[in-house]
Each structure stands twice: as C-alpha cells, then as structure tokens.
Amino acid sequence: MTKKKSSPVSLLDAALIKTALWGALAKLSPFVQWRNPVMFIVYIGSIFTTLLWLHALNAPEDASMRPAFVLAITVWLWFTVLFANFAEALAEGRSKAQAASLRGLRKETWAKKLKEPVHGAAFLPELATNLRRGDVVLVEAGDVIPLDGEVIEGVASVDESAITGESAPVVRESGGDFSAVTGGTRVLSDWLVVRVAVNPGESFLDRMIGMVEAAKRQKTPNEIALTILLVALTIVFLVVTVTLLPFSIFSVQASGAGTVVSLTALVDLLVCLIPTTIGGLLSAVGVAGMSRMMQANVIATSGRAVEAAGDVDVLLLDKTGTITHGNRQASAFLPAPGVSRARLARAALLASLADETPEGRSIVELARREGVQGQNPQGVKLVPFTAQTRMSGVDLPAGEGQPESAGTMLRKGAVLALAKHVEVLGGKMPQDVMSAADQVALRGSTPLAVADGNHVLGIVELKDIVKAGIKERFIELRRMGIKTVMITGDNKLTAAAIAAEAGVDDFLAEATPEDKLELIRKYQAEGRLVAMTGDGTNDAPALAQADVAVAMGSGTQAAKEAGNMVDLDSNPTKLLEVVETGKALLMTRGSLTTFSIANDVAKYFAIVPAIFVSTYPQLSALNVMQLASPSSAILSAVIFNALVIVFLIPLALRGVRYRPVGAAALLRRNLAIYGLGGLLVPFVGIKLIDWILVAVGLI
C-alpha cells in the first residue's frame, strides 16, 4: 500500500513568497500591529525615527548624527517590522494554501435522495446543497458522496485519497467502526445507503478548511502567558531606555565632555534590547504548529489542542487497532464437555448474525468454513452487540406445538458478561469452560463464550497480534515522562498478556464507556493531562472529557464532534505523533525565546559603549568586539537584529526536532544550543556586519 501525500508547500515557493511579501506590507496597518505588543513598540520606533530623519534633513545642525545615518537606522527598523510581518504572512500563506487545496475538493454534487431509507426505494435527484441532516441518499459506483453521513446499508470501496492522501481505497460498511463516510469522497464499487449527518456548510471538509485557516487561529494559553512575559520585559527595557536620556544630559553637564545620546540611538537601543526576535516569530510559530498537524494528516480544531498535546502525561490507548493490528479473527471453537463442536459452531454463527463488528463476521466465516450452514431462521429476534452488554445474540422462536416460552436464547460475548447472563437465567459457568477461557487469555488471545439459554456451550478464540515496533514507541514515551494505559474490553488475563508484550505501564480491562470516563476523571483529579483516541459513539463521552481527544476520520460523527482533533488516516497510533508534534511546538517556542533573550547580551556590549563612550571613555573597555566606531556599532546591531528574524523563519515554521529524553536533558540541550548560541552568534554576526560596513565605506 503506497501513501501519496501531498508534500508540504516549500518555503522557497515563488507564489508563496510573493503572497507573503504583499501580506507583510498589508500588516503594516496599526490595527494589525497592535495585536503584537512587542513589535508594536518597534513599529512606533520606526515611525519616530522616520520623523527624526525628516527633522535632520531640515535642521542638520540640530541633529547629533548625520541624516544618512538616521535614515539607515530607520530603514532597518522598518525592515525589522516587515521581516516579522513576513514570517507571520509566510506561515499563514502555507495554511491558506492547504485550505485552498481543500476548497478545490468542493464541487457541485448531485445526490440520489431516497424516498424510503432502504436500498431499492425510489429516489429523486437533489443538489447536495439542498440536503439536510437526516436525509437518506443512495451512492453508487462512480458517485461522489454529497455530505458526511453514516452508512445504514451496503458495503463498498471508497476512494478517500483527496482527503487522506491514501491512494488505496477503503471499505465502508454499515455497522461497526467504519460506517462513517466523508463528503467529497468517491464510491469505486458497489453501493451505499447513507444517512446524512450534517447540514451544508457543516461538513467535515468545511470544518477542515476552517481549522487550517490561520486567520481564525486563537492564541493558546501558553502563547498568551509568553506574550505577557515579553510585554513585561519590553516595559522594563522601555523604562530603562527612557531614563538614559536625562542621565546622559546630566553626565555631559557634570563632566563637561562628550555629547548627549541621540534619540535615534536610544530607539535603536530599545529595539535591540526588547525581545524582538521571539516577538516577531511568536505568531508564526503558532500558525506553523497548526500547519504541521495538517501535514501529519491531523486536523486540530484549535491551537489549544495542539499545545495541550505537548503537555500530556497520560495516554489512553485502545488495544484493538492501536496496540494490536485490530483484525481479531476467530481461530478455533473450544466446546464445553458434552457439547459437540458442530453445535457450538452453529450457535456461535447464529449469535453473531447481529454482530456487525469484524470479530462477529469472522466467527460467521469460521463456522461456515467448518461446514455450518447458517441462514436467518424465520421469526428470529436479533440482539445486536453493544458496549454496555458486551454481548450479541438471537432469540429463536419456539418449535411447532411448543409454548412460546420454549424459544431459544443464543448469546455470544465476553466471558464475564455471559457468565452474569447465565446466572440471571439460573445457570452457572462450568469450571472447565472458565479454565479454557483462561488458557486462551494466557496465550494473548481473546476468549468469547457462547450460551444457549442458561447452558454454556463453549469458547470461541479470537487471535490478535501486537504491532511491530510499538514496544519501542512506549519506551520512548516513558523516557518522555508519559504514562501509557491500554484500554480494552478483554478480560484481565488477556489484557495482562497483551500489556506485558506491548510494554504499556498500565491497563484497564473489561472497560465500559463509563469506566473510560471514570479513569480519565481520576487522572485529571491528580492534576494530569490526559489524551486518548476513539472512533465510536460509545467513545464520545470519554473523548469529550479528555484534554486531547483524537477522533478517527473513519469514526462516527459523534466521535468527531466530541474530539478536538481528527486523524484523517484513522490510525490510532497517530496519537504518539500528535504528542511529539505538540512537544516540538512548545520546544520551538521555548528555544526561540531563549535565543532571543540571550541575544540581548551581545547587543548590550555593542550599543551601550557606543552611545556613552564620548562621555565616559573608560567604557571603551566594553567594546570587546572592537567595532570600528560608535555609529558602526549601533547600525551593525540594528541590522543584525533585523536579519536574525529572517534566518530563524525556517526554524519557526519547521519547528525544533523533538527528542524523547527527559526534561532535564532537554533543558540542558536547549541552554547549550539556543542559550549559548544566542550569546555567541550575535558577537560573530555584529562583528561581521561591522567589517562589511567599513569595507564598503558606509561608515
């Protein structure tokens, strides 16, 4: 099976860069700049130095610096604002490109609206835009599914490549966890009767477009907290800078030497000392986080969900389909003493007729392979499988001449659930059958018991296989400080065997929807952030309760609405990637913040000696970079301050690579690379710019 995902839009894409450049200019509006307090200060400073330049042109004798120098400072301050705008516009442009590709999937579609919700009923052609929730449509081979819905009849292969990027078709059928279909996908074979689950404009595709639109992005709590910190630092440096002017006037008067620091130099100092680097890239990092989720084929309803994924410390994972391959197949019939294999097989087949799960179908197939002919007898009452009862079955009518009470109740389900059912009817689970179930569970398989009334007939063995490499993933998560909990409806012995093989930290066996909900609340009461996946309607309450809830794209509409993320690939193990992406987002933001703050140290050594050396010659000792002149030092610092934003745009958009190590190791690595790097790079960069300015004669 090949995966043909659309590659992410390149940063060097000409159309994207052109759009971002125009976007950078459009964002010069004060109403836009106001949303970023740090860059708003730079914006005001740019306007102020522009006015100072105009003043210097008209009254050069009043200016302590040449008009050309003031102009150079002004130009680079405007570049700083534009580069920050460009970074945000570039991130938004990538998201909008993704949204545009999704919009291309929306076409005017005609649907076959059925008069009755059954195959073969008469239908009328109807535009998809005129359909409403609850309408039933027929979709045949070659037709496009008009809107999101649930398959209520039929089975067909569906091409979902336009949505998921997966080239191989998928099977959608009534019942089970693969009954959901997405509007805009195409049926390749057979037919489906679909009940529309949404109104026009509310489809999954519409939601996807809205989710990836950067314009609709809201700041996350961590982003808001960081913004407050940056604003606080900006206010501190603003106060410091303002006090330097009267200090300079007093110093010149007291010493009788030197010149008063210029307003241009003070603005330059302020811009260089406030955290402009992270301030200019903060929004781009948030937008890029959403975009990276999209590239992983995960749609996040908000940045809050992406961010929360980075703080998750408990993962709840379904066994079937996540830890194991999920294709549990009936492999053997183990009859109770005194019961023939054929009788057990026939009872299991009939009890599985109402079970639309893959496991139920595999039991039917195994029984038929063993020669059992099972057709729906007349007058039967099917009892479908539910997560609450954990059983399915059929009620057979009484034979001719027998009282109605003589009817047969065939049931198949989890061993403990069936044991309770038998006890209610006055029977008892045989010890030999319990022992056989335990042996099956110890092998890592799943035992299902079959009963005829209050008489237990035997065990059906379902085999499941742990996915390759999953144990190593759990070891990585453990190093990340994340606890993994396996959730399964299997009995405790089976769950323990699979949990030991997979290497999870804990497990919840014989889980009901209520058990899942209770477990999530328990961990949250301990102050933990919980993430889980789900695809069924019975998962919806737990998904709604979890801090990070990833619903499968193939799952039910209820699950999608309850989750705050949707995995288009319907791969439950994607939760691991979601957590890593969330952590990478937090690491990117933290690394850039560290780098930005560390930058200020070098700029201090460049600018402070330059503006005060005429009054206090002793400050020349702080000129460790040996910059050519005060003017060169000030201009080199502001140029570096602008250019560093450009060089960090790829890092902001692609993110810092996450490594599954402990928090202490991550902190040491962050300080070593971005802390120490933030200290050293400006020294090198400012000195290099100084050499260039001197070489070309601009200073």
* DSSP letters for 569-590: T--TTHHHHHHHHHHHHHHHHH
Q: Which two tokens stand for residue 460?
A: 């059906």
How many Å apart are CA 601 and CA 275, to the nearest integer? Answer: 11
The residue with tokens 């070309």 is: 696
Amino acid at 514: E
How many Å apart are CA 557 and CA 536, to the nearest integer? Answer: 8
CB-neighbour burial class of residue 517 (10 A; exposed 0-12, middle 13-18, buried 19+) = middle
Q: Is 313 considered catalytic here?
A: no
Which residues, 6 or more positions from 61, have their beta carbon under 8 angstroms from its beta carbon?
none
Question: How close are the terminal C-alpha atoms of the chain, in Å?
Answer: 63
Is residue 46 within a helix (H) or strand (E), and if so which, with residue range?
helix 37-58
Q: Which two tokens stand for residue 653?
A: 């958009």
Q: Does residue 151 contact residue 123 with C-beta atoms inside 8 Å?
A: no
Task: Please calculate the CA angle 476-478-481 and round it to the nearest 5 degrees.
Answer: 115
Instruction: Provide the CB-side half-sphere exposure for 348 (13 A, CA).
Output: 37
CB-neighbour burial class of residue 104 (10 A; exposed 0-12, middle 13-18, buried 19+) = exposed
Catalytic residue among 143, 148, 159, 318: 318
Amino acid at 56: A
Residue 228, CA distances (Å) to 37, 235, 362 in order: 9, 11, 58
The packing angle between helices 67-103 and 276-295, to 10°, is 10
Instruction: Provide the CB-side half-sphere exposure for 352 (13 A, CA).
Output: 25
Three-state secondary structure readout of 259-288 = CCCCHHHHHHHHHHHCCHHHHHHHHHHHHH
How many Å apart are CA 601 and CA 412, to the nearest integer? Answer: 72
Biggest CA–CA distance in the chain, Å, is 125
The residue with tokens 């392979």 is: 369
How many Å apart are CA 282 and CA 279, to the nearest integer? Answer: 5
How many Å apart are CA 497 and CA 30, to the nearest integer? Answer: 63
Q: Does residue 107 contact residue 127 with C-beta atoms inside 8 Å?
A: no
Is residue 413 within a helix (H) or strand (E), and if so which, with residue range?
strand 408-414
* Backbone φ, ψ for residue 168 (5° rounding): -75, 140
**H helices then E strands: how many in the chain?**
23, 21
Task: Please calculate the CA angle 583-589-595 and round it to the nearest 5 degrees.
Answer: 130
DSSP character at residue 334 = E
Q: Does residue 26 contact residue 81 with C-beta atoms inside 8 Å?
A: no
Q: Does residue 574 contact residue 580 with C-beta atoms inside 8 Å?
A: no
DSSP character at residue 537 = G
Sign of CA dihedral 605, 616, 240, 246: negative
How many Å apart are CA 553 and CA 170, to the nearest integer? Answer: 12
Active site residues: 318
